[in-house]
Amino acid sequence: MSSKPVIRFFLTLITLAVLLIPPYTDGVLAQEPTPQPTAGGAVYVVQPGDSLWSIALRFRVSIQALTAANGISNADQLNVGDRLVIPGLEGIRGTLTTQIVPFGETLRSLSRRYRTPVETLVRLNHLTSPGELYAGVNLVIVEGETPATPGRRRTLAPGQSLLELAIQDGVSPWVYLLNNDIKSAAVAAPGDVLLLPQSEATNPAEESPAASPAAMPAAMPAAMPDAIQKVQLTPLPLVQGKAVVIEIFGEKDLQLGGSLNERPLNFFFDAETGSYVSLQGIHAMAEPGLYPLVISATLPGGAQFAFSQSVFVEAGDYVYDPVLTVSPETIDPAVTRPEDAQWAALTAPVTPEKLWQGVFQSPAPPPYSDCWPSRFGSRRSYNGSAYIYFHTGLDFCGGVGTDILAPAAGRVVFAGPLTVRGNATVIDHGWGVYTGYLHQSEILVQVGDLVQPGQVIGKVGGTGRVTGPHLHWEVWVGGVQVDPMDWLLQPYPR
């Protein structure tokens, strides 16, 4: 007798069992069918890092209202990708998601980009003033159609009509209306950032400036000049103790400048990426919050622009070291301040030649290359002081006499003894990037030497104010110490 009918019988039974028995889950959220958006309702897709509490806070609804609307009984069962109905957003249809606001966008330009009315963005994000729209803020948007095709940015000058701008660009005003989801030309306002699709863009070299110096307002324009197409900040939000890479894509021969929290920015043209790049360190103890970023540009014709927007700096992930006990003169400002000033002054000049390439190699040879007794940024208290100090470098294992290697090409700008830092070397890698080597037993380079990656530049020691011999390695960017680990893990500018 064939066994096939028997097998088929059991397969049918198993199929029925699968269909009839609900899958085992220990949380109601995973068990309940995904709530479908009610008519006119808005659905939020749970993002990594979200909790019911953070979602409730974001949409200003109570946790009770949120759980009731979604039939949730176990808040621990919230999964990334779950779709939650947000109560109280009647009239807003679609899927809500979050987007980090890039530098240089306004509420109006974001409204066009995401084809969402300004009023909806304001309502979704409970914005009360334009100042709340800063670079790095996590903005709730309605995910709908494909975002508008990125293209060249154009800005309406005061007194300029959309028709005039269109004539200047040699395109029909309808191109602007259609590409920017504007219902009528009268809706466009001065300072609005409009997108002109790449294929419609005129050759920038042939273009008469959209805003002649005479037509430009004396005050800061509300949007980026059209000569600048994009300003990219990496990372965004900015992070304490990390270097930010500011990359500007725009027309040729721009003279760019600016400041980040009043620290001047220096831009260099990067032929590899065709962008202007500025690197700036964020102080490890900078208070998390908003800081002004100003970008200024002088066009080849001489017209000048400046654009300012707040950017968000978030806290880094730094530990608190146990209270350290040192001899009091080690932290005596009379001793430390002059040397700190001398040390900072060494890293202040910004040389235009970029000497490094890609990722830095470890300044310590194997087996010490990835042995770190103390990391950058840890908060420190000396002799019971407040935690007002931080570890300014990355410490490497290795005893007296261990080789110290240049992590990248650069020019030696300091080599000599210091009271606190001991025998120290500073190397300039260009573009405002410096590295420092402290407490050496021997220095094997001289000021002016051009060093190559892997070159032995000194020996580990215990000179200066140390508890034991080790290499303390610092990386400076734009006059600020940053986490050297980042430079061992990723290439800069990218």
- State which residue, 191 or 316, has the beta carbon closest to Zn ion: 316
CB of 393 to Zn ion, least distance (A): 5
Closer residue to Zn ion (CB): 59 or 473: 473
Which parts of 4-76 are beta strand (E)? 42-45
In 10 A of CB 120, how many CB atoms? 20
- The answer to whether 395 contacts Zn ion (rule: CB under 5 A) is yes
Stretch that binds Zn ion, among 143-151, 180-188, 202-210, 392-400 (CB under 5 A): 392-400
Q: How many residues at the interface with Zn ion, by CB under 5 A?
A: 3
The smaller minimum CB distance to Zn ion, of residues 109 and 402, is found at 402
Q: Quick one: which of 152, 148, 225, 159 has its CA closest to 190? A: 159
Question: Among residues 354, 472, 481, 493, which is the contact residue for Zn ion, using CB under 5 A?
Answer: 472
| Cα 121 off chain centre by | 23
Distance CA 171, CA 194 (A): 13
Structure tokens at 81: 């990708």
Amino acid present at 227: A
Nearer to Zn ion, 100 or 324 (CB): 324
Nearer to Zn ion, 393 or 436 (CB): 393
Residue closest to Zn ion (Cβ) = 472
- Closest to Zn ion by CB, 436 or 478: 436
> What are the distances in angstroms from CA 335 to CA 202, 340, 418?
61, 9, 11
Report the nearest approach of Zn ion to the CB of residue 377 (Å).
Answer: 11
Contact between 483 and Zn ion by CB under 5 A: the answer reads no
**Contact stretch for Zn ion (CB under 5 A) within 62-70, 171-179, 466-474, 482-490:** 466-474
By CB under 5 A, which span of 145-153, 157-165, 339-347, 391-399 interacts with Zn ion?
Answer: 391-399
Q: Let me know the angle formed at the C-alpha of 442 by 347 and 453, rounded to the nearest 5 degrees.
A: 55
Report, in Å, the least distance between residue 37 CB and Zn ion: 55
Q: By C-alpha distance, which of 245, 326, 314, 321 is closest to 284?
A: 314
Q: Are 15 and 21 spatial neighbours (Cβ–Cβ below 8 Å)?
A: no
Q: Does 474 bind Zn ion (CB under 5 A)?
A: no
C-alpha angle 20/24/30, rounded to 5°? Answer: 105
Residue that is written with structure tokens 């005479």 in the block: 214
CA dihedral in degrees (170, 175, 181, 185; nearest 10)? Answer: 60
Of 154 and 472, the one with the shorter C-beta distance to Zn ion is 472
250 or 422: CB nearest Zn ion = 422
Q: Least distance to Zn ion from the beta carbon of 342, Å? A: 18
Provide the minimum distance between the beta carbon of 242 and Zn ion in the complex, in angstroms, as a whole number: 18
C-alpha pair distances (Å), 419 with each of 336, 343, 345: 9, 12, 16
> Which listed range, 13-21, 93-101, 387-395, 417-425, lies at the site for Zn ion (CB under 5 A)?
387-395
Task: Let me know: does 152 contact 195? Beta carbons within 8 Å.
Answer: yes
Interface region with Zn ion, contact rule CB under 5 A, candidates 91-99, 186-194, 346-354, 394-402:
394-402
Least Å distance, CB 394 to Zn ion, is 7
Of the candidate spans 121-129, 276-284, 330-338, 469-477, the one that interacts with Zn ion by CB under 5 A turns out to be 469-477
Least distance from Zn ion to the Cβ atom of residue 439, Å: 8
Cβ distance to Zn ion smaller for residue 122 or 418:
418
Shortest CA distance to 220 belongs to which of 317, 280, 124, 293? 293
- Which residues does residue 292 pair with via DSSP β-bridges, in sequence order? 310
Q: How many CA atoms lie within 13 A of 485 on its CB side?
A: 15
| 290 strand-pairing partners | 312
**Contact positions toward Zn ion, by CB under 5 A?**
393, 395, 472
